Amino acid sequence: MSDRDLIIDRYKDLLKTYLKGKSETALYKGQQFSRKLIEQQISPDDVLSDHVSVLHELFPDMSEELKDSFDFLLEVMIGYGFAYREHQSLRTRQRQLESEIEVAASMQQTLLMSDVPTVDGLDIGVKSVPAKKMNGDYFNFVKDHKSVSIAVADIIGKGIPAALCMSMIKYAMDSLPEQRMQPNLLLENLNRVVEQNVHPNMFITMLYGLYDTDLHEFYYAGAGHEPGFFYRASEDRFEDMFAKGLVLGVSRQTRYKEYQLRVNLGDMIILLSDGVTECRTSKGFIERDEIVDLIRAHMHKPAQEVVESVFNELERLQEFELRDDFTLIILKRKV
Amino acid sequence: MNIQSCVEVCNEWDIVSARQLGRNMAKELGFGNVDQARITTAISELARNIYLYAGNGKICIEAAEKMGKRGLKIIATDNGPGIKDIRKVMEDGYTTSGGLGAGLPGVKRLMDEFMIDSVVGSGTEIIATKWLR
């Protein structure tokens, strides 16, 4: 007996039981049976045809018109069978695509992710989490004997196109080592690369900074990026770290201004992407003040624990549904 | 020897004639109700494609035999514009007529064998076979 015959037999039994007692139990069994049918990828037109052949068997005296009416119904149901099979094949394809994206995402991680350096005198914490599979936020650290540079960037747009664009930014930055020490010049060069190579409706915001570990000065420049915060320990106060500058890729002639901050013991530099400030909770967008409050509540901890705590808290506020890529970096002078 | 019957397709009524031809042959060969309905649906789709995209062409139905199996073969030919990207029309979800699950991939799934040959500027030939189980 083939599987198919077994199914028809089982269907017949279930139907008979139901017709005899009309019980809810029998209906429940029918519902469970439908799961089995779906598992075995039996399409709706097949089920109908089985039903009809069982009817023929159980009620041989059915009128010809009734019999013929089933032929008509069958013809109508063939279309559903069509759609069902397409659905099956699209599902298989979706699974393939998903696994391909999975591979691409892990490749992006290996290509782009920068190690967080250990720097004497600085406590650094980083949390970067993509909203979808691929991250449109980018951060990068480069360390030498007397400085560490930090870049935080965000592509306007997310998902795969943003991620592909990010790879380009990374390699462009790697190829500009002479500008590493001058944040404004680095952004100007990067801006030209982006302007020439990226589709005009794609923009990139970036904050680039250089921390001089001997002098404890922080030089930075920004290209339309979400302002960070500077925590001045002596005054126990958070300030916005504004950096004026047009987003990358708009105009070739854009010039950027360099800013400078003196970093004292206990001071903190907080860099972020707009995924942090554009958290949408049930009460609306989260305010920058609320982010500051969150950081303040945890800032007695090591930097990595602070960024983790802030992320966990914001994730909870958004009911565990990230709408935008999230990147938060904290640098704290500890010596 | 195989006897082939053909229907010229140049308007919507011809689609019905092609279906009728296919159904008669399917019945004769001993296909069950579901397979009859599937075969006629496949014929409908192929004939519709001819009518919509090529303007005119023909659907031929013949009995097929291979290694002791018996079946029904549909041959759809037209002298229309041809298909530029066959791979694309064989993709699910690609459709110009907005049909759900229809189109050539649907026909391919309804039948057991499917072959397509198309030359841009000179026409398309599709051969689809269903074997008796």
A262 within a domain of the structure (yes/no): yes
**Looking at residues A134-147, what average pLDDT do you find?**
87
Question: Do residue A82 and residue A220 come from a single domain?
Answer: no
> Which domain, by its residues, includes A61?
3-93
Q: Rounded CA gap, B9 and B17, in Å?
A: 9
Q: Which of A74, A85, A87 has the CB atom closest to B34's CB atom?
A: A74
Residue A324 belongs to domain with CATH number: 3.60.40.10
Domain B4-131 CATH (choose: 3.90.79.10, 3.30.565.10, 3.30.70.2610, 3.30.360.10) = 3.30.565.10
Residue A79 belongs to domain with CATH number: 1.10.1240.30
Q: Which residue spans within A130-267 are E strands per DSSP?
A: 137-143, 147-155, 204-212, 217-223, 228-232, 237-241, 259-262
Confidence (pLDDT) at A286: 78
Q: Do B33 and A79 touch (CB under 8 A)?
A: no
Question: Do residue A119 and residue A260 come from a single domain?
Answer: yes
User: Which chain A residues touch B if contact means CB-CB below 8 Å?
Assistant: 45-46, 49, 52, 71, 74-75, 78-79, 81-87, 89-90, 93
Q: What is the distance in angstroms between the Cα of A82 and the nearest Cα belonging to chain B?
A: 5
Domain limits of chain B? Answer: 4-131
A277 within a domain of the structure (yes/no): yes
Question: Do residue A167 and residue A44 come from a single domain?
Answer: no
Question: Do residue A121 and residue A84 come from a single domain?
Answer: no
> Mind listing the pLDDT tens digit for each residue in A111-137?
877 789 999 899 999 999 888 777 778
Q: Contact at 8 Å (CB) between A271 and A243?
A: no
State how far the alpha carbon of A30 is from the alpha carbons of A2, A3, A119, B60, in Å: 21, 18, 67, 42
> Mind listing the pLDDT tens digit for each residue in A49-86?
889 989 998 999 999 999 899 999 999 998 888 888 88
Tens-level pLDDT at each residue, chain B (133 residues)? 467 899 999 999 999 999 999 999 999 999 988 899 999 999 999 999 999 889 889 999 999 999 999 999 999 999 999 988 888 888 876 665 455 556 888 899 899 999 999 999 999 999 999 999 8
Confidence (pLDDT) at B98: 52
Contacts of A86 in chain B (CB under 8 A): 92-93, 100-101, 105-106, 109
ipTM for this model:
0.80
Confidence (pLDDT) at B1: 47
∠ CA B42-B44-B47, nearest 5°, is 110
Our count of domains for chain A comes to: 2
Q: Rounded CA gap, B80 and B119, in Å?
A: 9
Contacts of B31 in chain A (CB under 8 A): none
> Mind listing the pLDDT tens digit for each residue in A183-203?
999 999 999 988 888 877 778
Q: Do B92 and A75 touch (CB under 8 A)?
A: no
Confidence (pLDDT) at A276: 84
Question: Do residue A326 and residue A191 come from a single domain?
Answer: yes
Q: Which of B34, B101, B110 has the CB atom closest to A83's CB atom?
A: B101
Confidence (pLDDT) at A222: 96
